[in-house]
Amino acid sequence: MTTDDALIQMFYDIDVDKSGAVDCDELREYLIKKEFGECFITRFLRTFDSNRDGMITFEEYQTGIHKISHLRKKYFNYYHILKKLDKDKNGYITTHEIYDVLYESGNKNYFSSKDLQAFIRKYDQDGDGKLNYHEFLDYLLEQPTSEGCPRTLNISK
> Domains of the chain, with CATH numbers?
3-68 (1.10.238.10), 75-142 (1.10.238.10)
Residue 133, SS3?
helix
Q: Quick: pLDDT tens for 80-91.
A: 788 888 899 898
Model pTM score = 0.49
Distance between CA atoms of 14 and 61, rounded to whole angstroms?
A: 11
Q: Quick: pLDDT tens for 63-109.
A: 888 777 666 666 667 777 888 888 998 989 999 998 888 888 887 77
Distance between CA atoms of 157 and 142, rounded to whole angstroms?
A: 11
Secondary structure E strands in 11-156: 21-23, 55-57
